[in-house]
């Protein structure tokens, strides 16, 4: 199909201007759970663009594409987490960052240990993929999955897929109901997110009142986490249905609904502006200007200075995307385009990159000279009481045959069922190598453990590293019977049956630490560190975040051995969550901590 280039260019620029306006409008109400029908303009009126993660990560994703070229993939986009994060790591971002530091890569890193897998963090990054693949929802969805899987899974991924599809289609379609049907086909049947979007349309048709529909959404889908995609995408859809073809009303309605108001305002602003790029009044653009500012926690970024420059980069890359992926879209009437040269495409066989499924426990360790993936067991973390199974999968994307060996190196006293494999990998071939790993049960358990994959193929030697997380051993005493049991858990959270319990965990710290303890869950308990009561958890508001969770406190960890103890009140079955992190910025996991199995 043909797209008028000038119209495309206007829509791309308006998309990101609208996103900046909506995000700025909603920032003051981010996290506010009330309805605010009085929203009509900036309050306070800004004197320039306000930095926002809604735009930050899209700038960083684009930088990764400019540096690495095509095809776009989760390995290269992972640079966002390993190179550009400092103290700005809330919720799913800090979990993704910690997983990357532990050498656990996408897509597994978006699911493992992640209580925020259905947060808004990836949904807000959808516009880049739509603008790179206008009028091609299938491609926009394929590309955005590579982005979303770093810090989300399930509905967290489907939310970005839905929005990328809707925004891509909006380059040629303006009807919001038709757009919703296009987007919802990428959400598997039966998912909570898809059901909520259909409910929102039905409730709007039935009531025609924004507050009534808001209350119905919350009555059926409310959860403690106000960044939940099901709630916020329903609000986005409700704002679009109720806007009466007005940009002003669309963004104000979105923000007035509360919850993740800066994200919903930004997404509605961008979507509306793609549909109607001439709908934005100067009263919205004048206060924020054209400068592009990133959040202070983003580091090592080489970002464009203005929104216009950023959009020019997107448009240039879109021309390469069109040619590489054979999108069937042609731009007519092209003029005044600034082209930026991408590196030469590093493979012409991209489809194997995109063959993973949501929920796969695979970690893409590297992509050259062939794809290297590690496939983990269902529990992911290695259990010292068991033989732990892994698979190393090699996928040859090119036409060169590879022969040689694969060696396995593990931490001290860990053992592998095989220490080496012979490799014979033909052109476009896939090979899998299974191994079992055992580790000593009586050793301190580092939070970061590395399996080194030593390749010697075609006369060249190289090594890739993969993370091997280890289970945490809790001593659990049933306070009704005094029966003591031990449980190996694979993440900072675990479930308890109905009853009352004492849960103990030995910890080793290499030095004294002034840190933050998060102790949350849907069970009531009191947390003690080295015999001192530190905090009580009320069993409500289960948001295990370092910076905004209700149940966190500053503690001092001793050098050497420490004892954490949870005394869990009698109650129904539920879950407890415990983790330690930095107490400044948004917080991030502390990796220099070891779990001691002795009791």
Instruction: Give the pLDDT confidence of 379-397 residue by residue, as tens digits.
Output: 999 999 899 999 999 999 9
Given a contact cutoff of 8 angstroms between Cβ atoms, the answer to whether 251 and 244 are in contact is no
Q: What is the DSSP letter of 328?
A: S
In tens, the pLDDT along 294-341 reads: 988 888 888 899 999 999 999 999 999 999 999 989 999 887 788 899
- Quote the tokens at residue 281: 């009044």
Query: How confident is the model over 36-42, as a mean pLDDT?
Result: 97
Phi/psi at 494 (5° precision): -155, 160
Instruction: Count the Cβ atoms, other than its own, within 10 Å of residue 83.
Output: 14
Given a contact cutoff of 8 angstroms between Cβ atoms, the answer to whether 534 and 566 are in contact is no
Average pLDDT score over the chain: 94
- Quote the tokens at residue 357: 């499924």
Residue 599 scores a pLDDT above 60: no
* Structural domains in the chain, sorted by start: 2-332 (1.10.4080.10), 361-467 (2.60.40.1230), 472-596 (2.60.120.1560)
Specify which of 74-88, 319-333, 584-598 reaches the highest per-range mean pLDDT: 319-333
pTM: 0.96
CA distance 247 to 284: 10
Is the bond leading into 369 cis (omega within 30 degrees of zero)?
yes
CA distance 538 to 526: 9
82-91, 98-107, 484-493, 527-536: least confident range: 82-91
Query: How confident is the model over 131-138, as a mean pLDDT?
Result: 98
Residue 173 CA, chain-centre distance (Å), reads 29
SS3 of the chain: helix, strand, coil, percent, to 5: 35, 25, 40
Given a contact cutoff of 8 angstroms between Cβ atoms, the answer to whether 96 and 344 are in contact is no
Locate tokens 């958890």: which residue?
Answer: 537
Rg for the chain, CA atoms, rounded: 25
Query: How confident is the model over 258-277, as a mean pLDDT?
Result: 98
**Cβ neighbourhood burial of 351 (10 Å; 0-12, 13-18, 19+):** exposed
Give residue 166's region: left, alpha or beta (phi > 0; psi -120 to 50). Answer: alpha
Given a contact cutoff of 8 angstroms between Cβ atoms, the answer to whether 543 and 537 are in contact is no
pLDDT range class, residue 83, cuts 50, 70, 90: confident
pLDDT for residue 591? 64
CA distance 19 to 313: 17
Residue 121 scores a pLDDT above 60: yes
Closest among 397, 389, 384 to 350, alpha carbons compared: 397
Closest among 281, 198, 205, 223 to 18, alpha carbons compared: 281
Query: How confident is the model over 536-547, as a mean pLDDT?
Result: 91
Given a contact cutoff of 8 angstroms between Cβ atoms, the answer to whether 175 and 111 are in contact is no
CA distance 396 to 373: 12
- Quote the tokens at residue 459: 């006369």
pLDDT for residue 593? 60
Residue 282 scores a pLDDT above 60: yes
């Amino acid at each position: 199909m043909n797209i008028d280039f000038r119209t495309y260019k206007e829509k791309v620029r308006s998309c990101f201007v609208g996103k900046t306006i909506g995000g700025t409008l909603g920032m003051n109400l981010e996290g506010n759970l009330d309805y605010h029908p009085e929203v009509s303009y900036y309050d306070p009126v800004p004197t320039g663009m306000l930095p926002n993660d809604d735009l930050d990560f899209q700038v960083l994703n684009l930088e990764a594409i400019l540096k690495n070229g095509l095809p776009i993939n989760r390995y290269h986009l992972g640079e966002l987490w390993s190179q550009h994060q400092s103290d700005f790591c809330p919720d799913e971002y800090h979990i993704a960052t910690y997983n990357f530091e532990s050498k656990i890569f996408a897509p597994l890193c978006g699911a493992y240990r992640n209580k925020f897998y259905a947060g808004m963090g990836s949904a807000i990054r959808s516009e880049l993929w739509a603008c790179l693949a206008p009028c091609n929802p299938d491609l926009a969805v394929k590309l955005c999955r590579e982005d979303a899987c770093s810090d989300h899974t399930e509905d967290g991924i489907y939310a970005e897929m839905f929005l990328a599809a809707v925004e891509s289609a909006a380059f040629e379609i303006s009807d919001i109901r038709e757009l919703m049907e296009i987007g919802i086909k990428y959400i598997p049947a039966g998912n909570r997110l898809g059901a909520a979007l259909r409910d929102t349309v039905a409730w709007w048709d039935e009531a025609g009142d924004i507050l009534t529909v808001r209350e119905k959404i919350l009555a059926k889908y409310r959860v403690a986490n106000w960044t939940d995609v099901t709630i916020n995408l329903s609000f986005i859809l409700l704002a679009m249905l109720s806007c009466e073809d007005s940009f002003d009303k669309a963004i104000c309605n979105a923000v007035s609904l509360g919850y993740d108001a800066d994200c919903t305002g930004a997404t509605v602003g961008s979507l509306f502006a793609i549909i109607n790029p001439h709908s934005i009044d100067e009263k919205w653009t004048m206060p924020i200007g054209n400068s592009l500012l990133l959040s202070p926690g983003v580091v090592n970024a080489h970002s464009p200075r203005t929104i216009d420059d950023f959009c020019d980069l997107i448009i240039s890359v879109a021309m390469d995307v069109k040619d590489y992926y054979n999108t069937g879209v042609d731009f007519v009437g092209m003029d005044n385009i600034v082209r930026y040269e991408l590196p030469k495409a590093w493979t012409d066989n991209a489809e194997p990159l995109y063959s993973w499924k949501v929920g796969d426990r695979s970690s893409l360790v590297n992509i050259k000279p062939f794809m290297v993936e590690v496939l983990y067991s269902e529990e992911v973390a290695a259990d010292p009481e068991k033989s732990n199974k892994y698979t190393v999968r090699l996928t040859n994307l090119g036409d060169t045959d590879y022969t040689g060996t694969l060696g396995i190196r593990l931490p001290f006293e860990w053992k592998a069922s095989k220490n080496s494999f012979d490799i014979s990998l033909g052109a476009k071939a896939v090979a899998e190598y299974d191994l079992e790993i055992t580790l000593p049960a009586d050793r301190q358990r580092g939070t970061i453990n590395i399996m080194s994959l030593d390749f010697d193929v075609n006369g060249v030697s190289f090594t890739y590293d993969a993370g091997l997380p280890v289970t945490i051993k809790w001593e659990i005493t049933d306070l009704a019977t005094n029966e003591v049991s031990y449980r190996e858990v694979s993440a900072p959270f675990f479930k308890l049956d109905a009853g009352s319990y004492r849960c103990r965990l030995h910890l080793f710290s290499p030095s004294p630490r002034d840190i933050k303890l998060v102790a949350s869950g849907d069970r009531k308990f009191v947390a003690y560190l080295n015999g001192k009561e530190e905090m009580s958890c009320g069993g409500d508001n289960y948001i295990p975040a370092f910076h905004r969770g209700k149940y966190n406190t500053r503690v001092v960890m001793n050098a050497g051995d420490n004892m954490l103890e949870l005394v869990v009140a009698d109650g129904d079955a539920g879950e407890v969550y415990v983790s330690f992190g930095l107490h400044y910025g948004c917080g991030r996991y502390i990796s220099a901590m070891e779990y001691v199995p002795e009791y």
